[in-house]
Chain A
Amino acid sequence: MLRRDLEQDAWLLVEAAALGLGCVRWTLLLRDYTRAVAPLERQCSQGYQEVLERTAQLEASGEQYRALLESTSAVPWELDDGTGACTYIGAQVERQWGWPADRFREDGFLFSCVHPDDRPAFAQALEEAVAWQDVTIDCRFLFASNRYSNVRSFVRHTPDVRERRRVRGFSIDVTVQKKLELELHQAQRLESVGRLAAGIAHEINTPVQFISDNCHFLKDGLGEVRAVLERYREALRAVAAGSLSAGEALEQSLAEEQACDLGFLCENMPTAVERSLEGLERVAKIVRSMKEFSHPNQDAPSSADLNAAILSTLTIARNEYKYVAEVETRLGDIPAVICYASELNQALLNIIVNAAHAVSERAAGADRKGLITITTAVDGGEVVISVADTGAGIPQEIQDKIFDPFFTTKEVGKGSGQGLAIARSVIVERHGGNLTFETEQGRGTVFVIRLPATPSVETDTDAPEQGLLM
């Protein structure tokens, strides 16, 4: 047995041996082990110090992580799905959302902040997280300022607490981003509307010009016809009064007719009315199409006839293609599709304008126009719209980029590079459809839109303002 002799401050080995019953013999000091024990003792004390230091370090790094975690604008939290109380929430919540962190420890408080309309989706997301899935969910969240903000939450199950229904997540205020996304979307709409407006102005100005020409002609002509009628009456009265012979009256009337070119007037006045009515119908059609195209006040998906949508989109885009391409439509018997019609129109427009540009690049200089063929059909449970052009085709090296936002082959200022990106986002993300293309160098490109006949449209929590034009 090694004992520490406190007086000598040395370690001594004390040996005791049992000699017999009840008799112990102490053998005294055999050896001084002080020297041997000293390093051990130092190690021990060092170990203790190290533990202290490590603990401090751990605490410091824990604090550091916590500080890091709680200094971001993404609020971390852990929720007991059973009680609906937060078992942890980052301290920044007070700074970010205005609520004191303690409030979230109350049962169900977190959930109560979610906008009533968004609660089912949020509950669903938590369910999915409990079932071991990673979920990202956007919902409106009530801040202490009594205003709703758009909050995006990344939620996942807590793997180390198996017996409890716990989920962890980060929530971040994306109101600004949402607004920017919306603005970008609007900007692209405005850009294409602006470009179209110029074309539509041309399309409307032309009929207005000839309607006005014809009406001026009718106005002048009617004046002349009335004057001739007046002369006829005078002649009749004169003949009746006996001051003019029938022969003279006839001669006079014929001279009058000649003077105002009555033959021309009679021949052309009915046509002028006809032409004016045609012109008015042309204007009315354009205006109607613009209204159909922009579909004001549509904040929920509704049932739409895509064949009609294609025709009205073609009407308003006419000026974009009519000088370079003929358009052929082969519209099949397709069911109505539940969709955001104005957004789908926008997507269609972007694809048609794209086709017109592809054709015009090829047609430039050539005397023959290109051809754009639009076909609709049903294939299985899907409605298929294809837009085929006889342009130059998409070069191999850019085929994988054409749906990228801001990618454009047009000169600066001519296109924002948003057209096809938006078309894809509308078709794929908003309508659960599919947008693909096939292209052949020198022959042309076919864009194919596939939409589920009863698509699962993404529910929209923030429908953009609709109805830009009218």
Chain B
Amino acid sequence: MSAPEPKQILFVDDDPAILSGLRVRLHRFDSRWAMYFADSGAAAIDELERCDYDLIIADVRMPGMDGVELLRTVSERWPDTIRIALSGYAGEKQVARLVPYAHQYLNKPCPSSQLEELIARCLRLHELLPDPRLRALAGSVRTLPVTIRAHTELQAALSQESAGIAAVSGIIASDTALTAKTLQLANSEFFRLTRRITNVEQAVGHLGLGVMRALADSAGVFWRGAEHESITLRLDELQQHAKTVAAAARSLARDTPHGDDAWAAGLLHDIGYWILARDRQPELLRCLQLAVAEGLPLQEAEARLLGASHAQLGAYLLGLWGLPVGLVEAVAFHHAPERVAQAQFSALEAVAIAESLCGTDDAEIFNGRSVPASGVGTHYLKSVNAPFDWPEAARRVEASCRSVEAS
């Protein structure tokens, strides 16, 4: 049995002492990681032109080409390379500049094993999405289309001096793209959080409205997605579906500690479609046609034509953005929860059940194309020890659907 090919990792810092420190510290990973060290942005670009890197870790403040500029260039020319910023200090404005280009952030000094764990976690994501072209697609995503309504409301709310955290959180929680970006930042090392957050209000409270304003002002963080009600899908209908599943999943998980996770997983579970709607309209159309023609569930048609489903693609993106593992898993397997060897009811199970019960008509999302749905049934509830039976689940989901429609 041959050892897997080592992953290529590039470190960039203008201080040679940092590079030599990293080199000796990470020496014990030599067999798994092929590590290279560049002492400037320009030297890093030369290295990237020489060979394909799986991951780049760059200092932010460097003379000449700084880290933001370097990671921006990498996002354009080598989008499948995972981008991590390692910074000694960054102010709000610098963070806002970095947000579109860095997948994850680390602070110097970064505690023992944190760097190693982050690198390993990022590289493991490759297993979720083996096709480098799809990784490049997800890797190139700086921001996702925000619904016009949420975007307008957010700008208006943040422009007021008296804006409250609850009001701003309410707007963000109504939109998948806003929620994903907010959770990405709140869970990033920049904001020195010790626990994972999946509750939007806590996330906004933790970041503070000052940071939210800086983000809203920074071009390319919250992108107003106007023109995506296109040939393949209607973003507003998809958004409505995500909100319904989120509310239903939370209501299913209400007696467990997984309420926030279930809600966030519900809101983000179809985030892969946000990416496909943005950059892969023709391919998505072909998947839809195949699903309709052959009576396949859409995710199977996607797997066949694209090499991966929207669920894998979305999960990979959320993983890149450093969202909690449970959330990433819930998104990755929401169409195939049985594949996860886990007999415990948590966010994934809540989303899978909610999606099976909420009865969204796909035809409304996919411009009149009805594709076969797959879902879980009664037997599944027992296998995961769900704290409710099927009729109770149906009751809760129906009540959630009604309240989302009413709002």
Contact = CB atoms under 8 A, between A and B. Distances in A.
Interface in A307-349: 322-324
Contact of B88 (A202, A213, A214, A216): A202
B257 interface: no
A210 B111 CA distance: 11
A278 B25 contact: no
A432 interface: no
Given A213-B21, A214-B24, A201 B89 contact: yes
A352 B61 CA distance: 20
B25 A208 contact: no
Interface stretch (B72-80, B102-110, B217-225, B280-288): B102-110
Interface stretch (B12-20, B150-158, B230-238, B378-386): B12-20
Given A198-B89, A201-B88, A213 B108 contact: no
A216 B88 CA distance: 19
Interface in B22-38: 22, 24-25, 27-28, 30
A198 B61 CA distance: 13
A209 B88 contact: yes
A285 interface: no
A206 B88 contact: yes
B347 to A, nearest CB: 35
Interface residues of B, number: 25
B4 interface: no
Contact of A206 (B15, B28, B112): B15
B24 A323 contact: no
Interface string A184-212: 00000000000000110111011111111
A357 interface: no
Contacts of B107: 205
The residue in B17, B63, B64, B107 that gathers the most chain A C-beta atoms within 10 A of its C-beta is: B17
A376 to B, nearest CB: 27
B89 A199 contact: yes
Nearest to A324: B63
B116 to A, nearest CB: 10
Nearest to B60: A202
Nearest to A211: B21
Interface in B107-152: 107-112
A132 B30 CA distance: 87
Contacts of B391: none
Contacts of B64: 367
Contacts of A201: 88-89
Interface stretch (A105-113, A267-275, A400-408): A267-275
B98 to A, nearest CB: 15
B18 A323 contact: no
A51 B37 CA distance: 102
Interface string B196-234: 000000000000000000000000000000000000000
B80 to A, nearest CB: 28
A120 B108 CA distance: 57
Given A201-B88, A202-B61, A210 B28 contact: no
A236 B107 CA distance: 47
A275 B22 CA distance: 12
Interface string B256-287: 00000000000000000000000000000000
B308 interface: no
A198 B27 CA distance: 32
Contacts of A203: 88
A207 B17 CA distance: 8
A430 interface: no
The winner among B15, B18, B111 for most chain A CB atoms within 10 A is B18
B22 A213 contact: yes
Q: Label chain B's interface by main secondary structure.
A: loop
Contact of B27 (A207, A209, A264, A323): A264
A274 to B, nearest CB: 10
Interface in B42-94: 61-64, 66, 88-89, 91
Contact of B89 (A202, A216, A323): A202
Contacts of A261: 27, 30
Contacts of B30: 261
B20 A210 contact: yes
Contact of B20 (A207, A208, A271, A322): A271
Contact of A216 (B17, B25, B108): B25
A208 B18 CA distance: 9
A369 interface: yes
A220 B21 contact: no
B88 A210 contact: no
B251 to A, nearest CB: 45
A345 B15 CA distance: 28
Nearest to B116: A216
Contacts of B22: 210, 213
Nearest to A199: B89
A148 interface: no
A263 to B, nearest CB: 12
Given A206-B88, A268-B24, A275-B21, A216 B63 contact: no
A279 interface: yes
Contacts of A220: 28
B27 A217 contact: yes
Nearest to B115: A213
A208 B109 contact: yes
A124 B109 CA distance: 59
Given A213-B24, A367-B64, A198 B91 contact: yes
Contact of A210 (B21, B61, B63, B91): B21
A280 to B, nearest CB: 12
Nearest to A208: B109
Interface centre among A198, A202, A268, A271 (most CB of B within 10 A): A202
Nearest to A197: B89
Contacts of A369: 63
22 contacts: A198-B89, A199-B89, A201-B89, A202-B88, A205-B89, A205-B107, A205-B108, A206-B17, A206-B88, A206-B108, A209-B110, A210-B15, A212-B109, A213-B18, A213-B22, A214-B24, A261-B27, A268-B27, A272-B24, A279-B17, A322-B63, A367-B64
Interface of B: 15, 17-18, 20-22, 24-25, 27-28, 30, 61-64, 66, 88-89, 91, 107-112
Given A202-B88, A213-B18, 10 more contacts: A205-B88, A206-B88, A207-B17, A208-B109, A209-B21, A209-B109, A213-B24, A214-B21, A217-B24, A271-B24
The 3 closest A-B pairs by CB, nearest first: A213-B21, A210-B21, A217-B24
